[in-house]
């Protein structure tokens, strides 16, 4: 496990050096001397896990930096600790009201800095775990139905607005109940995990891959028309057939559809893909059908 990333922002290099020396053994350290570069670093991957931010800086002070961090969906959740010589209660109140998670006054005490940074990193780690659990299927680690539906609505709205093709595939593992009945649920779970890993390994980062039921999966393909999604779905079907998880022969039936730009809703798109899946099963399974 890699060490958490800390971004230290202070216009005085001596202050940066002092904090870096205190914290470098347990964290990856990034530094900058101004607010604009802080915002750039925070918006790029990998993002810092915590920002130690000075208040009194030229051009853009720490309060304005924090306002901009909190105004962006990309950076809104990055915790910020103010490290400053300002000791008035009004200054501390302002920082906390803007969204700072803590407030360290100069001159700094190394033991206090270490503890406060450790506490905030621990809180962020716990929060990240809760978010992970809320958005992902706990068995396969794919996205869950809730995340799929929320994200799909945004993708469809964007697709309809910009006339960019979006397609969907609904996949069902064939005769999966027999696997659980004949080999037990533990083997069945291992098969599902292997399928999840395969799907993640053969879809793009911009695609959304989710498990929405026992053996049912949905993939949203961004910038993908119906011809392309049929090709992609058949590729996945072939990979699944070749996989043989737990030395078992596994196949999948897949229904695919491209979003109709004439105001089609997510529910209507899912319904068409589901009808295509039904046809794939009716025609013998281990097929891809497009509607």
**Separation of CA 249 from chain center:** 32
- Domain 5-133 sits in CATH at 3.40.50.2300
105's tokens: 């006054």
Residues of the chain with CATH 3.40.50.2300: 5-133
Q: Kindly report whether the global pTM for this prediction surpasses the value 0.85.
A: no
Q: Identify whether 177 is preceded by a cis peptide bond (ω within 30 of 0).
A: no
Residue 245 has pLDDT above 90, yes or no: yes
Answer yes or no: 241 catalytic: no
Please give the average per-residue pLDDT across 160-185, as a whole number: 94
Residue 92 has pLDDT above 80, yes or no: no
Instruction: Report the C-alpha gap between 96 and 90 in whole angstroms.
Output: 10
Q: Identify whether 269 is preceded by a cis peptide bond (ω within 30 of 0).
A: no
Rounded-to-10 torsion of CA 28, 30, 35, 39 = -70
Residues of the chain with CATH 3.30.70.270: 145-290
User: CATH topology for 145-290?
Assistant: Alpha-Beta Plaits (3.30.70)
Percent of the chain beyond pLDDT 70?
99
Q: pLDDT-based confidence at 262, cuts 50/70/90?
A: confident
3-state secondary structure the chain: CCCCEEEEECCCHHHHHHHHHHHCCCCEEEEECCHHHHHHHHHCCCCCCEEEECCCCCCCCHHHHHHHHHHCCCCCCCCEEEEECCCCHHHHHHHHHHCCCEEEECCCCHHHHHHHHHHHHHHHHHHHHHHHHHHECCCCCCECHHHHHHHHHHHHHHHHHHCCCEEEEEEEECCHHHHHHHHCHHHHHHHHHHHHHHHHHCCCCCCEEEECCCCEEEEEEECCCHHHHHHHHHHHHHHHHHHCHHHCCCCEEEEEEECCCCCCCHHHHHHHHHHHHHHHHHCCCCCEEEC
Predicted pLDDT at 247 = 95
pLDDT tens across 179-225, in order? 999 999 999 999 999 999 999 999 998 899 999 989 999 999 999 99
pLDDT tens across 224-236, in order? 999 999 999 999 9
Selecting among 64, 197, 206, 215, the annotated active-site residue is 215
Please give the average per-residue pLDDT across 232-254, as a whole number: 96
Percent of the chain beyond pLDDT 90?
78
Q: pLDDT-based confidence at 173, cuts 50/70/90?
A: very high
């Amino acid at each position: 496990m890699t060490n958490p990333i800390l971004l230290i922002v202070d216009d005085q290099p001596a202050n940066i050096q002092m904090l870096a020396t205190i914290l470098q053994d347990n964290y990856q350290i990034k530094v900058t001397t101004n607010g604009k570069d802080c915002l750039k670093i925070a918006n790029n991957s990998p993002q810092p896990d915590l920002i130690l931010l000075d208040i009194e800086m030229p051009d853009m002070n720490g309060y304005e930096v924090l306002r901009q961090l909190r105004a962006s969906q990309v950076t809104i959740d990055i915790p910020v600790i103010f490290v400053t010589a300002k000791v008035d209660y009004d200054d501390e109140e302002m920082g906390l009201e803007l969204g700072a998670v803590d407030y360290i006054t100069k001159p700094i005490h190394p033991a206090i800095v270490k503890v406060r940074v450790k506490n905030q990193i621990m809180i962020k780690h716990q929060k990240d775990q809760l978010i992970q659990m809320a958005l992902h299927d706990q068995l396969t680690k794919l996205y869950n139905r809730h995340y799929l539906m929320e994200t799909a609505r945004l993708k469809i709205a964007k697709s309809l607005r910009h006339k960019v093709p979006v397609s969907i595939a609904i996949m069902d593992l064939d005769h999966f109940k027999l696997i659980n009945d004949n080999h037990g649920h533990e083997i069945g779970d291992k098969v599902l995990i292997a399928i999840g890993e395969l799907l993640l390994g053969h879809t793009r980062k911009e695609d959304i891959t989710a498990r929405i039921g026992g053996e049912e999966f949905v993939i949203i393909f961004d910038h993908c028309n119906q011809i392309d999604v049929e090709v992609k779905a058949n590729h996945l079907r072939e990979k699944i057939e070749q996989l043989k998880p737990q030395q078992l022969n596994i196949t999948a039936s897949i229904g695919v559809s491209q979003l109709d730009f004439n105001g089609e809703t997510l529910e209507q798109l899912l319904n068409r893909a589901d009808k295509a899946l039904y046809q794939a099963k009716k025609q013998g399974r281990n097929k891809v059908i497009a509607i």
